[in-house]
Structure 1
Amino acid sequence: MIENQSIIGADLRPDTHNPFARMLRYVARVVMTLAIGVVLGVFYCAWHLAFFLLCMFRPVVNVLMLGGVIMLPISFAAFVKPEAANGMPFWVFLLMAVGFIGFALGYSKFIDRITPPGETDPFERYRRRDWK
């Protein structure tokens, strides 16, 4: 036969425990729960605010895509007629085009990655419908 052993020692009686210690343990749990709740609340508020602000600037950053497309013919013009570029080599314009397009795409992917659960882009109406 297996005997269940009590968590409380056999030599201690339950009525000898200090009720103040039990109350202090519960007060400490409440304080810790409140502290963790406040920290998580601040974290989620900052997360949603950052997501909202970054989504607000997404249409503006997407204009860099247009700038990158415009830099490609400018690069070609600088390659054909170098004096038109005021001493800048043509590859600088190519790097700017790659940088503009890369930054715009990376910004959109970053925002999509940090989206809080259950949230959608509040500024979706300002984007083109065919850009998904």
Structure 2
Amino acid sequence: MPKLNIEEIEAILPHRYPFLLLDSVEDYTPGEFAVAKKCVSANEPFFQGHFPKFKVMPGVLVVEALAQTGAVALLSLPEHKGKIALFGGIKNCKFKTPVRPGDTLELSCRLTNRKGPIGIGEAEAKVNGKTAVKAELSFAIM
């Protein structure tokens, strides 16, 4: 199982603090899939306003973390080194469980279709083995 630490992730993705939402990649095969983790801390800046009395990680940021996981799978291909993956679309997105401070997001994205610069992936975020978010994501390589 190949793993990536934060420096290796930064060599693949263009994202940086505060928008890099992956702490580690636990397994991946370039062009096929990636499995990553995000440790959700109470110190995340978005918790100041979302929501002060009941802190919940914004769903769109969980989806972004899933997209970054898929981007690792796509951008780790040698022909995509140094490129950027942009969102092409989000389909069938379901938010099932809130993500709270102290949770560890278990992120996975399996690329199901690639044609030229376009990729589609099935993505799922879990907390303690329970689905938090599930979606089909599409990417465009720039």
Q: TM-score normalised to the size of structure 2? A: 0.23
User: Per residue, is there more strand in 1 or in 2?
Assistant: 2
User: Per residue, is there more helix in 1 or in 2?
Assistant: 1
Q: Which structure would you say has the larger Rg?
A: 1
